[in-house]
Amino acid sequence: MLSTNDNDPVTIALAALAATLSDDRRAQRFIDLTGIGTDELRRRAGEPSLLAAVLRFLEAFEPDLLSVSGELGVKPEDLVEARRKIEGEGTR
């Protein structure tokens, strides 16, 4: 669970990546949909493009978005906002 004071988008995205990969079904679906292999995931884990992709993946399937946000102790909107910041969109 993230600290309630931690709103750094990269920290949130890394935690979302870890939560995504900790669930076998969700991890397999992410790998299947993106075509990213486990070695590539390890190499690129901190890259903004990969972190944004994970958050977009969660946004695309509400049950996963809600599940991961619950696991992290953040609002689903926090995950969406983290993706926007990583992509340079800021707030809307």
Domain ranges of the chain: 9-86
Whether 91 shows a pLDDT value over 70: the answer reads no
User: Half-sphere exposure of residue 48, counting CA atoms within 13 Å on the CB side?
Assistant: 10
Residue 61: what pLDDT? 96
Q: Mind listing the pLDDT tens digit for each residue in 32-50?
A: 999 998 899 999 998 999 9
Whether 4 shows a pLDDT value over 90: the answer reads no
Per-residue three-class SS string for 21-70: HHCHHHHHHHHHHHCCCHHHHHHHCCCHHHHHHHHHHHHCCHHHHHHHHH
Residue 92: what pLDDT? 47
- Judged on CB neighbours under 10 Å (0-12, 13-18, 19+), 55 is buried
Percent of the chain with pLDDT over 70: 90
Whether 60 shows a pLDDT value over 80: the answer reads yes
Percent of the chain with pLDDT over 90: 83
